[in-house]
Amino acid sequence: MAMRVHELHPSLIHAPLALLPAATLVDLAAASRLDRRADRAGQVLWWAAVGSGLFAGLAGMAASQEVDPRSDRARDMMFLHGIGNVGVVVAALGLATWRARNRASITSAMAGLVASGAAAYTAYLGGELVYAHGVGVEALGGAPARAPALFSGPGVARLGRDAVRGLVWLLSRGARAVTGREKVDRSALGPIAEAGTGAPLALH
């Protein structure tokens, strides 16, 4: 069976999820041992994490336009998954830029640990979207069932178009959440949702 546009994202996301903690551990080793080879390896790993995160993120933007969440909670969870990953990639880019000019330190390693934890959490939300809400599952029908093969002319064009549309959706949804025009369902946060309240999450 040919790969579809929405199936590219889950096939790519493992790379940044592995490279972020790898860069963190190498930075920790370089900082504690003052090892120049490990320091250089850490720099390379940070840029690899950023590159793979950008690629996976663009594929995720495209996937968001191919699937049809069946509830407001799932739609909000998809938004939090996406905007959280944007934050992780921006943070990793900042760390990679800083590391390009500086030696590894305990601080850079701890920042990497926080980024890795955030990436693990957004990955959890992504898993919930598929396994708990059935988002993108072909049996549910919708756009994924009708999508062209990814590695075809129409598939490549659709990937590019949907990546742009997905980015526009994510940023506009974020703007509406920050300004209070469209609140985020607190339960979309998953396990860290505030206990005992169903009140929407205010981001402003």
Task: Show me where the domains of the chain are located.
Answer: 5-190
- pLDDT category of residue 142 using cuts at 50, 70 and 90: very low
Other CB atoms within 10 Å distance of the CB of residue 102: 12
Cα–Cα–Cα angle for 15, 99, 25, rounded to 5 degrees = 50
Name the β-bridge partners of 136.
Answer: none
Contact yes or no for 135/67 (Cβ under 8 A) = yes
Element spanning 152, H or E: none
Give the residue among 167, 83, 165 at the shortest CA–CA distance from 126.
83
Contacts 24+ apart (CB under 8 A), 188-196: 188/73, 188/74, 188/76, 188/77, 188/79, 188/80, 188/125, 189/80, 190/77, 190/121, 190/124, 190/125, 190/128, 191/124, 192/121
- What are the start-end ranges of the H helices in the chain? 8-12, 14-33, 36-64, 72-99, 106-131, 143-146, 153-179
Per-residue pLDDT of 152-189, as tens digits, reads 888 888 888 888 888 898 889 888 988 888 888 888 88
Confidence class of residue 193 from pLDDT cuts 50, 70 and 90? low
CA proximity to 85, closest of 41, 43, 44, 129: 129
Q: What percent of the chain has pLDDT over 70?
A: 86
| Joined tokens for residue 9 | 């994202």
Interval 80-133: pLDDT, tens: 999 999 999 999 999 999 999 999 999 999 999 999 999 999 999 998 888 888
Place of tokens 């979309």: 188
